[in-house]
Homo-oligomer: A and B are copies of this chain.
Amino acid sequence: MANETKIPYKIYLEESEMPQAWYNVRADMKNKPAPLLNPGTLQPMTAQELGGVFCQELVEQELDDHTPYIPIPQEIRDFYKMYRPSPLVRAYCLEEKLQTPAKIYYKFEGNNTSGSHKLNSAIAQAYYAKKQGLKGVTTETGAGQWGTALSMACAYLGLDCQVYMVKVSYEQKPFRREVMRTYGASVTPSPSETTAVGRKILAEHPGTTGSLGCAISEAVEAATSQEGYRYVLGSVLNQVLLHQSVIGLETKAAMDKYGIQADIVIGCAGGGSNLGGLISPFVGEKLRGEADYRIIAVEPASCPSLTRGKFAYDFCDTGMVCPLAKMYTLGSGFIPSANHAGGLRYHGMSPVVSQLYHDGLIEATSVEQTKVFEAATYFARVEGILPAPESSHAIRVAIDEALKCKETGEEKTIVFGLTGTGYFDMVAYEKFNNGEMNDYIPTDDDLAQGFAGLPQVD
């Protein structure tokens, strides 16, 4: 089958072809994402206010909505070369198995120890912290990919790394925790007694197994209460999407190199870091009127912020210590059902992705987790890669679109983001293998509870 075409199974760019600047899609957006608001004054956060929490250069990147290309410092580009370029894979085996005329490509970000794309922003954020002369950084982690990525970046640069890990993950994923420790990070189950907000949450909800929003609150408090520390975040923020644009830029460069034109671009969506990074250059071309693409964000039916959420200002964290962001949200109190195994459990969505969706530049769809794991298992057997549950949301929709092509006979070119591997998600796979996995779709009443907690801003 490979003989019929000149396109290899895996397209690797040369080092000299790797991006030298990140692409800032906000520069091409007519409707800019709304600014972060100070939760006390409800006024836009100033650079000075943000500088208390984030590193200075990252604050500049966070606020910069007009510079289209921001150079990637040489040190970060050198680090990228250790695990990038990531391959753009032609899914020949999947196409053959599906008997589809569609051409399927995926950008695979799982070939590094963090197991995902998260490392792209972790090294950038750690680099600027180091450059500013800081001692260390704090963060939260759920499934553990972001915490692992940050601990790798900090180990490389000699920075202290303090991770607040959602307690249920801390207990269910001891191996993730141990990878972070191997990279020298300290890992604290959240909520914990080490912060005021953690103690408050524990007092109000004894026995809670924690949430991302809660761990964020603790990590922010830890950063602001220690000299020489700042907080870093693995998704949602503009700066993170900026760094993750390296995914889309490499994808585009690989496609251009072989004259491949995408019809559909698909990414899974939790906080929006991978999706935003993957689609940025494609959306940019749409915004500039240079090309058109169908772009699809895929989210879990059990945590449907884009497809069923409200576009409103909301808290980014449970403790309500962080700035407010205007985004599609289910309310900061929303927590997906305990039987949800598929990742992507954040209550909100990156303001950039939210604005693009609001403006009709991208579509969104939601899928149920048993369908996601069916696709994951099918893909693993055919393409040899065991995908992360998060990534498998995109696989599900890519397969569905390829099957539509089989019906219509259209030879569409489908590109999706395979964000990472599922080696640390075998508890969820086991549940699926044993036929014990269920679906859960929140009722309108469930969602109403989350919406009731939205702050009154607009």
List the interface of chain A (C-beta within 8 A of B). Answer: 1-2, 8-10, 12, 14-15, 78, 81-83, 92-93, 111-113, 115, 152, 155-156, 174-175, 178-179, 181-184, 377, 380-386, 421, 423-424, 426-427, 429-430, 433
Contact = CB atoms under 8 A, between A and B. Distances in A.
A295 B184 CA distance: 34
Contacts of A381: 152, 155-156, 183-184
A206 to B, nearest CB: 29
Nearest to A181: B433
A10 B86 CA distance: 11
A245 to B, nearest CB: 21
A180 B132 CA distance: 47
B82 A178 contact: no
A74 to B, nearest CB: 9
Given A78-B2, A178-B433, A182-B429, A152 B8 contact: no
Nearest to A154: B381
A12 B13 CA distance: 10
A92 B1 CA distance: 37
Nearest to A184: B381
Nearest to A183: B381
A9 B81 contact: yes
A184 B380 CA distance: 11
Contacts of A152: 381, 384
B93 A82 contact: yes
The 5 A-B residue pairs with the shortest CB-CB distance in the complex, in nearest-first order: A175-B426, A155-B381, A9-B81, A178-B426, A113-B386
Given A112-B384, A182-B426, 12 more contacts: A2-B81, A10-B81, A12-B12, A78-B92, A83-B384, A113-B386, A152-B381, A155-B381, A156-B384, A175-B426, A179-B429, A183-B381
A111 B78 CA distance: 20
What is the total number of copies of this protein in its complex? 2
A429 B82 contact: no
A323 B250 CA distance: 52
A380 B183 contact: yes
A113 B78 CA distance: 26
A382 B155 CA distance: 8
B82 A9 contact: yes
Contact of A383 (B1, B82, B92, B179): B82
A1 B426 contact: no
A385 B1 contact: no
Contacts of A14: 8
A212 to B, nearest CB: 23
A182 B2 contact: no
A383 B79 CA distance: 9
11 contacts: A2-B15, A2-B81, A9-B82, A113-B380, A152-B381, A155-B381, A156-B382, A175-B175, A178-B429, A183-B380, A183-B381
A183 to B, nearest CB: 6
A419 to B, nearest CB: 15
Given A8-B15, A113-B386, A156-B384, A182 B78 contact: no
